[in-house]
Structure 1
Amino acid sequence: MPRYIFITGGVVSSLGKGLASAALGALLQARGYKVRLRKLDPYLNVDPGTMSPYQHGEVYVTDDGAETDLDLGHYERFTGVPARQSDNITTGRIYQTIIDSERRGDYLGATVQVIPHVTDRIKAFVLSDAGDVDFVLCEVGGTVGDIEGLPFFESLRQLGQELGRDNALFLHVTLLPYIKAAGEMKTKPTQHSVKELLSIGIQPDILLCRCEIPIAEGDRRKIALFCNVPESAVIEGRDASSLYDVPLEYHARGLDTEVLKRFRIDDAPEPDLSRWNAISKAVNEPDGEVTIGVVGKYTSLLDAYKSLIEALNHGGIANNVKVRLKWLESSQFEDDGETSPLEDVHGILVPGGFGERGAEGKIAAVRFARERKVPYFGICFGMQMAVIEAARNLAGIPGAGSSEFSKPSEPIIGLMTEWMRGNRVETRDEKSDLGGTMRLGAYPAKLAEGSRVREIYGTENIEERHRHRYEVNIAYRERLEAAGLRFSGLSPDGVLPEIVEIEDHPWFIGVQFHPEYKSRPFEPHPLFASFIAAAMEQSRLV
């Protein structure tokens, strides 16, 4: 039976519970243990798939087609363990399953209540589908005291009792603010946060205290005394110089050691941190720098591009260079048609997105990259805009557009109505629900012989994660290829375009999928590694 580590948060949001969970998972892995990480989200949405990036940040997609919280991206990047549908649950999904059961009569006339019906479902989720692992790390979204989180905290309280102290541990992430005017670190918010946890029956075993300065011994003793934990269980969590230094920092502060001590594991091997030391060296001691212009529509909230940012950084690690990102709101290129902000970049990336706003600006950025021979990487919507640009300006189809946001005379991009999911046919139409109805998850593709992408991947067959509702119309393939845009990757049945490229260009690739979801710091995605290498070459020319 695996041991369970429950990660909660207090005082304020955005303290880094997801990153702490991922880092702890990586440290336990470094000691030879198998881990699984999952997330409990208290909001009423069934999943984040219909939520605006401004509300929730990035929607992370798993191989099995789940739209999940962005923290699952941290989990995968730090541990390399592929997340599954069963690793993210929301209040909305819990209530949906309960109401469906009630409507079927499964409760045999009983009154359906939060306790035990909701809490039992949450506990069943936490314990299910763990697999052959040593530790399951389960993070609760939000902060203790939030009304919507109460059923989750109650469920974890019950699990703590049922599993016993040898199999369950509570790690509470909290805040120690430093009041500059007083010159003091304040422990009271942490004390109140723990008191809130205690009021619902949970005694934290370890406190991970986020702070700006070192914790003085007096403050550590005070926290331990008033929060009823050993002094060694008050772990300092200061900001690290980079994301991938966090496992090293937390190990130095004793986080994983304290976890093993609490579980009475005395024979744990020392962690092998060589991989993380190598990554830290590559991040902190690069040989050079390249600038990538990211032309998007959610650039005021960078959490919307969390996996993309990290995948670009992984490309930098693969080439031992620092990747500096220049964020460019795509609508600015529509307002005045001025493309001078792109003059100083070494590569241009247009990421995924939805809707009409900024689309023409992205097309303008594509044209700049194509005509100026600047390395271009289009992802999902970015590929579609590249196809429209090529259709208009290379293939002589001025009416080319997307039916997603207009009724073009030449619908180069159209709504997908049917595709294969394994041996099953998936069908959609314009009246289908928005949630969970896109082409989601891992799908295979076949790469054309002699293509740049075939050379980059080093294989003919690939499998990548998708999240899209619109697709390039294969009927235009002949005209576009005659104009110079090669369809270098297709679905195995040859119906769905997956990759396009321009051969007479230093580096111009558009992909319908999201390669950023599968990139890891210790295993950079080949497309991002190749794109950054092309940007390095471009930097030598400007």
Structure 2
Amino acid sequence: MSKYIVVTGGVVSSIGKGITAASIGRILRSYGIDVTAIKIDPYLNWDSGTLNPYQHGEVFVTEDGMETDLDLGHYERFLDVELSGDSNITTGKVYSSVIDKERKGDYLGSCVQIIPHITDEIKSMIRKISSKSDADVVLVEIGGTVGDIESQPFLEAVRQLRNEEGHDNVMFVHVTYVPYLNAAGEFKTKPTQHSTKELRSTGIIPDMIICRSELSIDAPLKQKIAHFCDVERNAVINCPDVSSIYEVPLILSKENVGEYVLKRLKMESRQPDLKDWQKIVKSLKKEEPVVNIGIIGKYVELEDAYISIRESLKHAAANIGVKVHIDWINAGNSLDTNKLGGLDGLLIPGGFGERGISGKLEAVKYSIEQKVPLFGICLGMQCMVIEFARLNGFEDANSTEFDPETKNPVIDIMPEQIKVEYMGGTMRLGSYPCNVKTGTQAYEAYQKKSVDERHRHRFEFNNEYREILQEKGLIISGVSPNDLLVEMIELKDHPWFLGCQFHPEFKSRPNNAHPIFVSFMNASFENKKNKS
């Protein structure tokens, strides 16, 4: 039977509940414990697919094609697992399921209510993941902040879960913020006290409090929090800001979080081994040489919009023994190509809509003319195709996403997408196979003739232009097994120019960097050395 660790948050949002939960999972993995994770999002959206990146950050895509919260990406990277779409529970999913059952008559004429019907559905979804994964421990992160009206049914559900599963099988971890007031010259614990009091008012008594802070807090302060919040002294854990999120498991391990969790959940004591993770952190903290990568996107004001790409670049840099510095370049404005001169490589990420396309096309042109390594992902690949076509006789080449009347639609909507009416969950989503052509940069990176990658798109390379663009120097290095979909493109006589229709960033791990990112980083490093 699985045991559960429920992670809640207090004081403010965005204090790192996801990283904290993932780090606890990483620590438990070091004990040889099988761990899976669930992210609960209290918003009414069914999934994250239609959320604005400015509001919610990146949309992460699972192997089975669910558009989820970005925290699932943290869980996959830290735990080195592949999670299903069921691991992201939303209010929309819960209420939709309950209404479906009500319409079918499953409740036998009962008046359908929050308690017990909604809370029972929440518990059922949590237990479903537990059953499917057969994990020893299931991490359950409840999004938002304690006190939010949206999260109340979920807090009630996990309170009931502890009663039903037993005290020894469900543990609560509360993540709070301990601010430091410069004017007073001291930390303030009142926000943590009030947050814990709010949680206790729901019937949940935290077993551990993890205190986020800008600086380290001392033992007397921990003792004060333990006293006022009624938790054991060794269950008050400090997690100050660090330079790398991958350090957090090591910090929590030093605070004996693993040992406390095993003791609290009555699990067999084992010998942890975080040596491999320590090596990963050391490699990620390398300071030189520095490779400068420019990301040309339209959501660059919020780095979380491209969080998996950012982390994948870090993984690749650590893999080859360099440090990556990222310049975030707004594609919404006309690019100042003079500023691109100091960059060793360029990356154009995915996205939707016409805004920022002109800047991305300018970056493609710059890469072709200056022989700078360029990596295009999803929409980035489509921009590479459009600009290449324009430079080779098709001045008005475009995508029908941006110009439905273009005379040369080198990028066009997928046939099965034409009649789609609803936006949510209707794209080409999830993992699909791709055949890799030998003798290409893609094959040199993968060293495989067939790979599986995750997708999220509606538009594709128009096969009507396939032959003529190949004649002009475009290389098609990856296709679907039936040869109908172009998955990867390259360019003759260019040091490194690769676009992929899929999203390789979703499968990169700190201990297993994605091969295309590694190849791109190597090419960018070579470009740096050639310039010096």
Question: Aligned ranges for residues 131-210 of structure 1 at < 5 Å?
Answer: 131-210=133-212
Aligned match for 1:446, one of 435, 460, 464: 435
Corresponding residue to 1:232 among 203, 221, 234: 234
Q: State the Cα distance separating 1:221 from its structure 2 match.
A: 1.7
The residue aligned with 2:476 is 487
TM-score normalised by structure 2 residue count: 0.98
Instruction: Report the counterpart of residue 293 of structure 1 in structure 2.
Output: 294
Alignment match, 2:270? 269
Alignment match, 1:40: 40
User: Could you say what secondary structure the match of 2:184 adopts?
Assistant: coil
Q: How far has the Cα of 1:286 moved from its partner?
A: 4.2
> What is the CA–CA distance in structure 2 between the aligned matches of 1:64 and 1:310, rounded to whole Å?
22
Q: Match for residue 64 of structure 2?
A: 64
Measure the CA separation in 2 of the matches of 1:338 and 1:124: 54
The aligned counterpart of 2:90 is 90
| Residue identity opposite 2:389 in structure 1 | A
Q: Does structure 1 retain, via aligned residues, the 8 Å contact 2:175–2:210?
A: yes
Q: Tell me the residue number matched to 1:344.
A: 342
Q: Give a deviation string over 1:264-313, Cα, whole Å, max 9, x none.
A: 33x42221111111112112234411000100000011110010000000
User: Is the 2:378–2:499 Cα contact (8 Å) retained in structure 1?
Assistant: yes
Query: Which letter maps to 1:20?
Result: T
- Contact 2:420-2:426 at 8 Å conserved across structures: no
Question: Separation in 1 of the partners of 2:72 and 2:375?
Answer: 24
Report the CA distance between 1:181 and its aligned residue: 0.7
What SS does the corresponding residue of 1:142 show, helix, strand or coil? Answer: coil
Per-residue CA shift, 1:48-102, capped at 9, x if unaligned? Answer: 1001101110000000000000000000001111010110010011111111222
Structure 1: tracts of 5 or more residues without a match: 419-427
The question of whether the paired residues in 2 share the 8 Å contact of 1:40 and 1:140 is answered with yes
SS in 2 for 1:121: helix
Unmatched 5+ residue regions in structure 2? none
Query: 1:401 is matched with which residue?
Result: 398
Instruction: Map Cα deviations across residues 189-230 of structure 1 (whole Å, 9 max, x no partner).
Output: 111111001111000000000112332332222211111111
Count how many residue pairs are aligned between Structure 1 and Structure 2. 528
1:391 equivalenced with 2:380 (yes/no): no
Match of 1:357 in 2: 355
TM-score (norm 1): 0.96
Distance 1:240 1:214 in 2: 10
Q: Compute the displacement of 1:315 (Å).
A: 0.8
Query: Conserved in 1, the CA contact under 8 Å of 2:61 and 2:430?
Result: yes
Distance 2:472 2:210 in 1: 58
Task: Specify the code of the residue in structure 2 equivalent to 1:404.
Answer: E
2:122 is matched with which residue? Answer: 122
Residues in 1 aligned to 2:193 and 2:338: alpha-carbon distance in whole angstroms: 53
**1:379 Cα shift?**
0.2
Matched residues in 2 for 1:186 and 1:87: separation? 35
509, 520, 537: which is aligned to 2:498?
509
Deviation at 1:429, TM superposition (A): 2.2
- CA pair 430-328 structure 1, distance change in 2 beyond 3 A: farther
- Separation in structure 2 between the aligned mates of residue 480 and residue 253 of structure 1, nearest angstrom: 59
* Aligned twin of 1:469: 458
1:136-183 deviation per Cα after TM superposition (whole angstroms, max 9, x unaligned): 000000010000000000000000111111100000001111111111
Counterpart check, 1:108 vs 2:141: no
**Aligned partner letter, 1:136:** V
Who is 1:422 aligned against?
A: none
The code of the aligned residue for 1:528 comes to F
Farther-moved stretch of structure 1 (472-481 vs 381-390) = 472-481
After TM superposition, the runs of 4+ consecutive aligned structure 1 residues lying more than 3 A away are: none
Name the structure 2 match of 1:433: 422
Q: CA RMSD in A?
A: 1.1
Between the aligned partners of 1:503 and 1:519, the Cα distance in structure 2 is: 27
Letter in 1 for 2:247: D
Q: Distance in 2 between matches of 1:326 and 1:430?
A: 39
Range 142-151 or range 252-261, more displaced: 252-261
Moved more, 338-347 or 150-159: 338-347
Task: Find the counterpart in structure 1 of residue 311 from structure 2.
Answer: 310
Contact 1:286 1:320 in 2 (8 A): no
How far does residue 338 in structure 1 lie from its aligned partner after superposition? 3.2
